[in-house]
Structure 1
Amino acid sequence: MKKIFLVGALALSLAGQAQKVTVKPTFTKGQKLELVTKANTVMSMEMMGQSMENKIDATITRSFDVENASESGTNLEHKIKRLQMSFSSPMGAQNFDSENEADMKGEGGKSAEKALKNKYTLTLDGNGKITNVKLDDQNSNTEESSGMLSGAMDQLGGGGAVPKVGTSTELTLLPAEGVAKGDTWADTAKGQKSNYTVSDITGDEVIVKFTSEGKTERKQEAQGMEIVINSVDKTSGTIRIDRKTGIMKERVSTTDSEGTMEVMGQSVPMTTKTQVTTTVTTK
């Protein structure tokens, strides 16, 4: 009899662990979601037999303003509010802040000005999938980066590229059919495959671990020189999602890259490690 009760209890326990939780994205008209992405990058390269190390610290502040929200659909206006960056190398250091008038008149100002005009409005269905993308009249988004600042934004996931119809936003990640602890799924965006695993579900959050692999092929300009970057990238990290609203609260990741930088007819081997933290707050 004890064995029967033990087997029954075990079966109930396993059934409880496998129970799915459905968390649909919930937005409120007039809501303002602010995303702050902080990234630290260390790039090592070999030039003329010498090892060089470059460091980039960047902070990108963006917002999603909820223009309309209902069970059938939601409209979110995306805009970049502020760009901050510091760059240091054996050849010197440079800082940039889009709220500094002198910086906006310098070399990085043109790229920043384009980024700050990179506004678009997304229409989402009830599960957070993008059904329509409308670019602002001044949006000058292109597939290729026009400068170091734009290139860094694309690499750090700072909103440089406009999302595609049929994909999920970075705010709304969970599958529509619900999730249970241990569930996995995958998606592919911009040639990069990502694998997700639900590592835990608490009373307040759904915690997702992820890994991704992909290739970077990017052209940009710096001081009048064209730079071509090719690399293989591997990323791992954790995403915390609000269980009540289905909206991301935090994303932390580490990316290791190996590749080459083509500049002035030379192919320079390089390795890069980037640590990125994005936090979402409601204003």
Structure 2
Amino acid sequence: MSAKDLHPRARTAWSAEDNEQVFALASFYAEFAPRDDQADCVDSIYILKDRGRLTESRMSFASPLKELTFVFREDGPGGRVVFSEPSLDHRRKGRAFVGWIVGVKFKPNWSGSPSVDDPAIVACRDALARLVREGPSCFDILDTMDRTLLALSRQPRHGSIAGGAPLDTPHGRVRDLAHRVGRSVRTLQRRVRTSTGCPPKRFLAMQRFRRSVYEIAAGGDDLSAIASDLGFSDQAHLTREFRRHAGVTPGAFRQAWCRPRAQAVRFLQDAGRSTRLMMAVWPLETTTEAG
């Protein structure tokens, strides 16, 4: 699921009862923060339950993040595990999805490349398959994913791109990033290409594109202001880069999202909250349906 589902509306309180209401819907998508001890390498855990409503017109955007995904189609046996490296391309996906998808987005400094046959991942797939059949709560799924991520974190990994430092800069300059992580530009170029399959300049462009998706979907600022805030030279530069990574223009993307088709809530992260929910989206027509 892409960042197109974000919306600027925010709440600071979200109870266990609210979580259960979302999980009772026929279709929803939710993103959860990782546990504190996994936040250095995990960007988010996401859960999609759909009956073709949220995924009727799906597009896969270019992404700088690795993802581990567990897919359970309603019309398919067992479950499928997919580990995705960062993607430089965009494409339109096929038919609308019916079933469950549970996944993890890893931060760029994470250096793991697990096999889908890894015992920890196989055990996670089997546990999730049982939960999906029984009708899980978000806590059931998060507990399963937390245990799997803990097991993966204990496995030996090759060195990270930049010694665990965040691979991001406000305006996507390679020299600034090299200075930030304490590496030479040449060393950074070699490590980023080895880890992500693309040179640092392209990697940072995808990082900036990812931020632009959030801002454009939110709809609060005009495109020229977003371009300036994110360090693009002008709105035309933003449009070129967005089309390169998404396959559509920023204006067309915003227009598609702003149709009255879904309710989305983005949650402020508060250390005092008992839940890790960051964002949830569901079709307006199904807010009273049970799954």
- TM range, normalised to the smaller chain? under 0.3
Q: Which has the larger radius of gyration?
A: 1
Higher strand share: 1
TM-score norm. by structure 2 comes to 0.27
Name the one with the larger helix percent.
2
